[in-house]
Amino acid sequence: MFEIEKQVPVPPYGTARTGLAATLKNMDVGDSVHLCGGLTDKNRLSSAFSGFTKTKAGAGKRFTQRKTSDGFRIWRIA
């Protein structure tokens, strides 16, 4: 069973965005970025990649990721 919490305010729309899409958009082939903290869950990261590559800014770009001791590293490979 889940804990029900009361009086938790809803954050303004868009505040949960991580800025990952802007980072991916600016990466050149061979560039990498290390992620630690909020986006270290593999499923969330894969979902972010999938969403980005389906956008106009992400068309034709390919990325790969590897787990590190304290997060993930992302490389742009194409």
56 in a domain, yes or no? yes
Evaluate whether 69 touches 53 at the Cβ level (below 8 Å): no
Using 50 as the pLDDT threshold, list the residues of the chain that sit under it. 15
Which pLDDT does position 32 carry in this prediction? 93
Evaluate whether 49 touches 65 at the Cβ level (below 8 Å): yes
19 in a domain, yes or no? no
- Quote the number of domains for the chain: 1
20 in a domain, yes or no? no
Question: What is the value of pTM for the model shown?
Answer: 0.68
Range of the domain at 33: 28-76
DSSP label at residue 44: H
6 in a domain, yes or no? no
